[in-house]
Structure 1
Amino acid sequence: MNRSVKFALAVLVLGALALGFRLVQGRRSDAPTAPPATSAAASAPVPALDLRDGDLVMAQMADLSRTQALSGSVRAVSTAIVKAKVAGELRHLGPREGDSVRAGQVVGDIDTTEFELRVKQAVQQAEAARAQVDIARRQLDNNRALVAQGFISATALDTSVANHAAAQASLQAALATADLARKAQADTVLKSPISGTVSQRLAQPGERVAVDARVLEVVDLSRLELEAALPAADAGTLRAGATAELRVEGLPDPVSAQVVRLNPATQAGTRAVLVYLSLQPAPGLRVGLFARGTVALEQRRALSLPLSAVRLDDALPYVVVLDGSALRRRTVKTGARGLVDRIESVEITDGLRDGDRILRGSLGTVRDGTPARLVAAAH
């Protein structure tokens, strides 16, 4: 095959390829264009969110009790420490931890041997002083008679008067010493100053105790109170008689309390004010248990809403309101926090009206404008 024939065949093949390409392009341009899937989805209606009464809370005027959190330890109003008034060997100590005692009950005693000897010594010294008084009185009587007869001078009589007075003073001192010895002997008997329950035994029989040594601790469990510290700003609005509800460790039910007094001075360093709350008797309530709760500072009539319905995941607090057939985000201004029927609530100062229905915060995030409808609960 010569060169001219090869060239002609190549031209024919290239022409055929060009013709086929043009036919394919023409078919593609004649085919109808399919609409994008995203535009079809956007045109579809958003389904309405079905809500029940339990999914909504209502903003309403209510008595809002402003509260303040507090915590502290339970303690007894009356606590007494039985101390040794004299030094000596503790011979007997009866009650143990948990035993009940009465006011004036003998709970123990200290060895009296030494004190009995001191009483005996003091009594004998008093007898000797009394004998000296008798001698001085007889001498004074004799000197008075001698002065009257002119046998001695008045100066000698003055000396006898002074000696008699000194003897009488010595007798009084000896009698006082004897009384002190008897008192020390009586102080060897240990008595409980109050009625209550023994919480600690701080000494054991056989030990030698010093003066004012702690022997027993007695607490009166019939009157218990909570000591708590409050910031000075909140304590300024607190008054005696305010009520509180406390949770005490180890007790299943809350314990009611009432403010009975406030400390007139603040604590050094923290500037906190100590508040004392009287506790209602409850089974299992003991000294030293830790308690926490809230105390009512003041009560006001205000538009309030459960605190859980206010959402804080934005720059400003807001709520989701059921507005007709849609859920709308609405920014609100909040005020004081407190309790409404024991539910933690917050005052709404702007953004809501009485009767607005609010979506609970537990239902999660909802887009603004989401359609919604209220349906009846299934029975």
Structure 2
Amino acid sequence: MNKVKSFLLILLSVVIVTSCGKKENNNQTKTDEAIPVEVTLVKKSMIDREIELVGNLMAWKEANLAAQTTARVQKIYVDAGSRVKQGDLLFEMDDTQLAQAKIQYQVTKDNYDRLKPLYETGSISQSQFDQVKAAYETAEKTYQLLLTNTQFRAPFSGVVTAKRLNDGEVFLLAPGGVGSPTIVTLMQINPLKLILNVSENNLKDVKLNQTVEIKSDIFPEETFKGNISRINPAVNPTSRTFEVEVKIPNPNEKLKPGMYVRAKILIGKSEGIIVNRSAALKQLGSTAYYGFIVKDNIAKRVELTLGKEFDSLVEITSGLNEGDYLVTRGQGLLKDGSKIDIKAKAE
């Protein structure tokens, strides 16, 4: 009986060892099998380079017009939304003082005109003429000052964006809730202005008159263009950026001051490597990317650094060299050192 048990134990051991050997052989066979993949030849191509920034549109010019002294508003000739040309009369203040100054100015001018010929013929002395001339010049300056502080004209062509008083109201020369006191606000909105903050690293690529493309969510299908008109040479000590001003033609006045826009400063072209976005695999639990290239039908894992994205394509700034064969399909089954079977090759 003991001999039988011993025989059965030996037989069972042989079966187990044989079975394990077969499994190991099967696993080894699977490991040695080549994994089918598709590859593409890595090439360099020209890439448009730009600096992407955001900002808010501003009026090219803005003027908050008001009197220099407290006075009554006599007449306002415009309203919010009115379009005016340079030199158009916008509003008038009480002209009582202006009328008095005009009379004084006219009297002194008449005296000056009457005595000037007498002075030239020697009929009156130099001191007499100097007194008349001084009185005339003083009255003229007073009249002109009151005239400009009574009749307010548009300093440039544009659109009235605010009217803060009505006819007959008293303008008080005192700070209000929002900045300095204002009767009428005028803006020039063609062209518009966009202020961008460019980093120290990108400033070397920014030049005057460079083209800037502007996109607004309000007009998603349209691209507006402008040009860099000014570069502030001093760095902002807080943000470490440089202020760059963009001048944007706005003939149809579609764009409005205050709109949020995205801008691209076009800085030229340079060579780079662009591949299918799916060829770059993201490493789990990190922001790192990797891919596989082919060396003698063996997969070699390489770490990838991504650059500019183009929908289904992406630029690789490091990790690939021109002439490499990059796995573009089947890479999810690979590991470093896997044998591969190239089923398709794109040149």
Q: Structures share a fold, TM > 0.5?
A: yes
User: CA–CA distance in 2 between the matches of 1:24 and 1:96?
Assistant: 113
1:272 equivalent among 241, 248, 261: 241
Report how far residue 209 of structure 1 moved.
4.2
User: CA–CA distance in 2 between the matches of 1:215 and 1:57?
Assistant: 68
User: CA–CA distance in 2 between the matches of 1:330 and 1:271?
Assistant: 35
Q: How does 1:274-313 map to 2 (within 5 A)?
A: 274-279=243-248, 281=250, 284-305=254-275, 309-310=279-280, 313=283
Report how far residue 24 of structure 1 moved.
4.0
SS at 2:92 equivalent: strand
SS at 2:219 equivalent: coil
Aligned to 1:182: 143
How much is the aligned-residue C-alpha RMSD, in angstroms? 4.5
1:45 equivalent among 16, 30, 40: 30
Report how far residue 110 of structure 1 moved.
0.8
Aligned to 2:208: 240
Aligned amino acid, residue 93 of structure 1: I
Aligned to 1:153: none
Q: 1:265 to 1:104 in 2, by over 3 A?
A: same
Residues 80 and 219, structure 1, Cα contact 8 Å, conserved in 2: yes
Q: 1:286 to 1:87 in 2, by over 3 A?
A: same
Report how far residue 342 of structure 1 moved.
11
Normalization by structure 2: what TM-score? 0.71
Report how far residue 227 of structure 1 moved.
1.3
Over residues 208-264 of structure 1, what are the superposed CA-to-partner deviations in whole Å (9 max), with x where a residue is unaligned?
A: 243995332222222123211212332123223433434335331343343333223
1:208 has 2:190 as partner: no
User: CA–CA distance in 1 between the matches of 2:247 and 2:311?
Assistant: 23
Q: 1:339 to 1:315 in 2, by over 3 A?
A: closer
User: CA–CA distance in 2 between the matches of 1:126 and 1:353?
Assistant: 86
User: CA–CA distance in 2 between the matches of 1:216 and 1:101?
Assistant: 12
Aligned to 2:155: 193
Aligned amino acid, residue 86 of structure 2: A
Deviates more, 1:92-101 or 1:186-195: 92-101
Over residues 304-329 of structure 1, what are the superposed CA-to-partner deviations in whole Å (9 max), with x where a residue is unaligned?
A: 55677555648986432366866542
Aligned to 2:134: 173
Aligned to 1:260: 229
Over residues 257-300 of structure 1, what are the superposed CA-to-partner deviations in whole Å (9 max), with x where a residue is unaligned?
A: 43333223333444422222233547742112233343233432
1:114 has 2:97 as partner: yes
Report how far residue 40 of structure 1 moved.
6.3
User: CA–CA distance in 2 between the matches of 1:107 and 1:301?
Assistant: 56
Residues 86 and 184, structure 1, Cα contact 8 Å, conserved in 2: no
User: CA–CA distance in 2 between the matches of 1:165 and 1:75?
Assistant: 57
Q: Which runs of 5+ in 2 are unaligned?
A: 175-179
Aligned amino acid, residue 30 of structure 1: L
Normalization by structure 1: what TM-score? 0.66
Report how far residue 81 of structure 1 moved.
3.4
Aligned amino acid, residue 302 of structure 2: R
Residues 62 and 187, structure 2, Cα contact 8 Å, conserved in 1: yes
The structure that has the greater radius of gyration is 1
Answer 1 or 2: which has greater strand percent.
2
Aligned residues: 324
Aligned amino acid, residue 234 of structure 1: N
Q: 1:342 to 1:22 in 2, by over 3 A?
A: closer
Aligned amino acid, residue 263 of structure 1: N
Q: 1:241 to 1:193 in 2, by over 3 A?
A: closer
Residues 326 and 370, structure 1, Cα contact 8 Å, conserved in 2: yes
User: CA–CA distance in 2 between the matches of 1:262 and 1:327?
Assistant: 50
Aligned amino acid, residue 273 of structure 1: F
Aligned to 2:56: 73
Residues 246 and 294, structure 1, Cα contact 8 Å, conserved in 2: yes
Q: How does 1:52-91 map to 2 (within 5 A)?
A: 59-85=42-68, 87-91=70-74
Answer 1 or 2: which has greater helix percent.
1
Q: Which runs of 5+ in 1 are unaligned?
A: 1-18, 142-160
Aligned to 1:30: 11
User: CA–CA distance in 2 between the matches of 1:352 and 1:116?
Assistant: 84
Report how far residue 29 of structure 1 moved.
3.0
Residues 44 and 322, structure 2, Cα contact 8 Å, conserved in 1: no
SS at 1:237 equivalent: coil
Q: 1:264 to 1:249 in 2, by over 3 A?
A: same
User: CA–CA distance in 1 between the matches of 2:146 and 2:134?
Assistant: 18
Report how far residue 97 of structure 1 moved.
3.0
User: CA–CA distance in 2 between the matches of 1:30 and 1:338?
Assistant: 66
SS at 2:197 equivalent: strand
Residues 104 and 194, structure 1, Cα contact 8 Å, conserved in 2: yes
* Identity %, equivalent residues: 14
